[in-house]
Copies of this chain bind each other. A is one copy, B any other.
Amino acid sequence: MSKAVTLQKTVSLLEDADRLVIVTHVNPDGDAIGSALALAEALRVKGKMVIVTIDDEISSFYKFMPGIDTFVRFSADEQVEADLLVVMDASSLDRIGKVVNCVRAPILNIDHHVSNTGYADYLYLDVMACATGEIVYELLRELSVTISKDMAFCLYVAIVTDCGYFKYSNTTPKCLNYAAELLSIGVQPDVVSDFLEMKSRNDVNLLSKVLETLDFHHNGRIASIMISLENYDADIATDSFIHYPRYIEGVEVAVMFKAVDAEVTRVSMRSRLLDVSRVALSYGGGGHKRAAGFTLQAELAVAKEQTLKRLTEEMDLL
């Protein structure tokens, strides 16, 4: 298990290191990227040698993030000398890919996920933080760094990403107050939202096709959408599509079926009351009570039928 450390001790660990590698999780989102870039810039301002890395491609969607070009990707046999490996926003070690093999240094993990597995040497975990970016903001204040507009921008993106633009239940007074302070530093809220709302033509075309598949079951209490194999495009972020069935009047559970292969279907669920994480776990998946998912070795229509049958049974038990 990790040694749990305080914010102050986390600051000491960062200050005591001269050469740091900052890594965040694969399939990075705005919180992962924003937190890593803001901390990296702050530590460079403090005169430190900082490498910032992800063992994954970064979607071109994030090209607007200041400093995005500073991310490097290690080759499999690369060995990097460092005093500290800082792992951001990753709840388990497999989330940082092969970086753990490239850097021989004590690991400091900065995270806010309740599911953190305690893999690091030092762990600063704040499960009340809406985003890792919220923690980094506190770290930057303790590090006595003047928070630049770029750092503030990165942290604002981090925070709004993980609290769903202040719509999720993890939105706290502190998170809103920090967002206010970041605006005071110079973040322009409409500039951030313009970037984050940006879609490609393909995104909107796919949404249009997927909404046509909207279907209701169990007296309208379950709503589903489907992405057929023909329409499947790994480059299109489809996570937000499930919001459409989720927020239809009378719907208690929304499901999205995505054919990623002829015999492989990914199932995402969102609910109001039903604990969908139990359903997901029983199929080898995971998630939270109100948002969970799993993968079925079945073609789309079979996966749909099987999942809807199961969800109907679960809802009848409510």
Q: Does any Cβ of B come within 8 Å of A44's Cβ?
A: no
| In the bound complex, CA of A204 to CA of B249 (Å) | 11
Pairwise interchain contact A198-B249, C-beta atoms closer than 8 A = yes
Q: Give chain A interface residues in 202-236, CB to chain B under 8 Å.
A: 203-205, 207-208, 211-212, 214, 216
Contact with A166, one of B166, B214, B249 (Cβ below 8 angstroms):
B166
Are A168's CB and B180's CB within 8 A? no
Nearest opposing residue in chain B for A220, CB measure? B201
Contacts of A167 in B (CB 8 A): 165, 189-190, 192-193, 197
Q: How far is the CB of A280 from chain B (nearest CB, A)?
A: 20
Residue in contact with A190 in the complex, picked from B169, B181, B193, B249, CB distance below 8 Å: B169
Q: Which residues of B contact A203 (CB under 8 A)?
A: 248
A14-22, A70-78, A81-89, A170-178: which lies at the interface: A170-178
A204 touches B208 (CB 8 A): no
Q: How far is the CB of A165 from chain B (nearest CB, A)?
A: 5
Q: Which residue of B lies closest to A250 (CB)?
A: B201
Q: Is A200 an interface residue (CB 8 A)?
A: yes
**For the complex, is A199 an interface residue (Cβ under 8 Å from B)?**
yes
Complex alpha-carbon distance, A198 and B172, angstroms: 22
Q: Does A7 sit within 8 A of B, measured CB to CB?
A: no
Collect the chain B residues with CB atoms within 8 Å of residue A207's CB.
Answer: 211, 244
- Give A237 to B165 CA distance when docked, in angstroms: 22
Given contacts A197-B247, A198-B247, contact A180 B176 (CB under 8 A): yes
A199 interface neighbour in B164, B168, B216, B247, Cβ under 8 Å: B247
CA distance A176 to B174 in the complex (A): 10
A212 with B204: CB separation less than 8 A: no
Query: What is the bound-complex CA distance between A188 and B167, given in angstroms?
Result: 9
Closest residue of chain B to A177 (Cβ to Cβ) is B180
Say if the beta carbon of A6 comes within 8 Å of chain B: no
Nearest-Cβ distance from residue A289 to partner chain B, whole angstroms: 13
**Given the contacts A198-B247, A205-B214, A168 and B190 also touching, CB distance less than 8 Å:** yes
Which residues from chain B contact A13 at a C-beta distance below 8 Å?
none
Kindly state whether residue A179 has any CB partner on chain B within 8 Å: yes
Q: In chain B, what residue has the closest Cβ to A165?
A: B165
Given contacts A207-B211, A247-B197, A248-B201, contact A173 B184 (CB under 8 A): yes
Shortest distance between the CB of A160 and any CB in chain B (Å): 8
A169–B160 Cα distance when bound, in Å, is 15
Q: Which residues of B contact A212 (CB under 8 A)?
A: 208
Rank and list the top 3 A-B pairs by shortest CB-CB distance, nearest first. A208-B211, A167-B193, A176-B180
| 8 A/B residue pairs, CB under 8 Å, sorted by A | A165-B167, A168-B189, A168-B190, A168-B193, A173-B184, A199-B244, A200-B248, A203-B248
Besides A167-B197, A204-B211, 8 other A-B contacts (C-beta < 8 A) = A167-B189, A167-B190, A176-B179, A176-B180, A201-B249, A203-B248, A207-B244, A208-B214
